[in-house]
Amino acid sequence: FPHSAMADTRLRVWVSQPLFGDIVGRLREHFDVVETARVGKHSPQDIAHALAGCDGALVTLNDPIGAAEVANAPRLRAIANVGVGYNNLDVSALTAAGVVVTNTPDVLTETTADFGFALMMAAARRITEAERWLRDGQWRQWSFETLLGSDLHGATLGILGMGRIGQGIARRASGFRMRVRYHNRSRLPADVERDCRAEYVDLDTLLSSADHLVLVLPYSPAVHHLIDATALAKMKPTATLTNIARGGIVDEDALAEALASGRLAAAGLDVYEGEPAVNPRLLALRNVVLTPHIASGSLATRRAMVTLAVDNLIAALGHGPDAGRPPT
């Protein structure tokens, strides 16, 4: 074919954020690639504009996409989300518009479970608070009662959302000799419960019996502010709450109030309702460990996520061995 005819047949894809260049570069073997050099959120108008001439897109949780953003993108056939959570995408609107959506499950499970455990331990044992205290020059002499925390070993771990990551946390907890309870939309098969040494309980029992509660459920409007003042009031005042799911699951003002008043001992948060903005009431508290949405952030895992998303996009646009897979 003459060069111009070849060029006309190449599909075009948009990469919404700078990701690992060596991995994303594989897209160029198949497609014309429009890459964004800037990290961060785009306006809905910019997203719509970027998608307008594209057949596919590689996006992250920074990119909310629904009917309005694809209304002027008649060629768009696939969106590959780099992340297991895909609440940034309106899947039913996209499906109705003929757009396949893929995500990146499995590759981040163990890394994210590691981090959930680390955050829970940091909150329970007051690790970041202790470090700030020491760096502030407040450690004048060793004392028996400095910064006393609560134990993980022998304590009851409550896991809300028992998918892959929840199960990963449960498996880690048995090494710490924790008693594991969970609540989930549906109860797990008996062999999985046995493998995780986890006991299914209703939500109220989970809230009231957990010494450490970890949130690992997917976000949807149905679970918006599921952990509100009423839910927090059911928890033990000595308990900790760790959230590595999505910020919108927790009513942050209610959480700040519970932490400030001693209704809850401590919290570990990796996700926030308005991220990257963090509720100033949480920022003002000592007894909350705050991290910037990095639970899946080991170098190897972030590279694996981008690799899988690139593979998904190539497949979904008919250039790979498999069809793109829908979110699982």
Is 12 an active-site residue? no
Query: Following DSSP, what letter does each residue of 112-131 receive, concatenated?
Result: HHHHHHHHHHHHHTTHHHHH
Q: Which two tokens stand for residue 193?
A: 């419960």
Beta-bridge mates of residue 45: none
User: From CA 182, how far away is CA 160, in angstroms rounded?
Assistant: 6
167, 184, 242, 296: which one binds ligand DGY (CB under 6 A): 296
Q: Which stretch binds ligand DGY (CB under 6 A): 77-85, 151-159, 163-171, 178-186?
A: 77-85
Cβ proximity to ligand DGY: between 130 and 294 the closer is: 294
**Does residue 248 touch ligand DGY according to CB under 6 A?**
no
Q: Which stretch binds ligand DGY (CB under 6 A): 12-20, 79-87, 120-128, 177-185?
A: 79-87
Query: Following DSSP, what letter does each residue of 23-92 receive, concatenated?
Result: HHGGGGGTEEEEE----SPPPHHHHHHHHTT-SEEEE-TT--B-HHHHTT-TT--EEEESSS--TTB-HH
Cβ proximity to ligand DGY: between 242 and 296 the closer is: 296
Which strands form 198-200's sheet, in the order they lie side by side?
198-200, 179-183, 156-160, 212-215, 240-243, 266-269, 288-290
User: From CA 266, how far away is CA 34, in angstroms rounded?
Assistant: 44
Options 293, 303, 319, 325, the catalytic residue: 293
What is the end-to-end Cα distance of the chain in Å, rounded? 40
SS3 at position 308: helix
Is 172 an active-site residue? no
Residues in the chain: 328
56, 85, 161, 168: which one binds ligand DGY (CB under 6 A): 85
Cα-to-chain-centroid distance, residue 153:
26
**Does residue 84 touch ligand DGY according to CB under 6 A?**
yes
Bond from prior residue into 276 cis (ω within 30 degrees of 0): yes
50, 59, 77, 83: which one binds ligand DGY (CB under 6 A): 83
**Does residue 207 touch ligand DGY according to CB under 6 A?**
no
| Least CB distance to ligand DGY at residue 12 (A) | 25
Is 131 an active-site residue? no
Q: Which stretch binds ligand DGY (CB under 6 A): 82-90, 134-142, 232-240, 280-288?
A: 82-90
Query: How many residues in the shown chain lie near ligand DGY by CB under 6 A?
Result: 6
Cβ proximity to ligand DGY: between 82 and 258 the closer is: 82
Residues 42 to 61 in contact with ligand DGY, rule: CB under 6 A? 61
Cα-to-chain-centroid distance, residue 45:
25
Cβ proximity to ligand DGY: between 116 and 178 the closer is: 116
Residues 106 to 165 in contact with ligand DGY, rule: CB under 6 A? 108
Options 126, 246, 252, 302, the catalytic residue: 246
**Does residue 304 touch ligand DGY according to CB under 6 A?**
no
Beta-bridge mates of residue 215: 160, 243
Q: Number of helices and strands (H, E) in the chain?
A: 14, 12
| Least CB distance to ligand DGY at residue 42 (A) | 17
Options 110, 199, 273, 275, the catalytic residue: 275
CB 130 within 8 A of CB 121: no
Q: Which stretch binds ligand DGY (CB under 6 A): 41-49, 83-91, 127-135, 231-239?
A: 83-91
User: By the criterion CB under 6 A, which residues form the site for ligand DGY?
Assistant: 61, 83-85, 108, 296
Which residues are identified as catalytic? Answer: 246, 275, 293
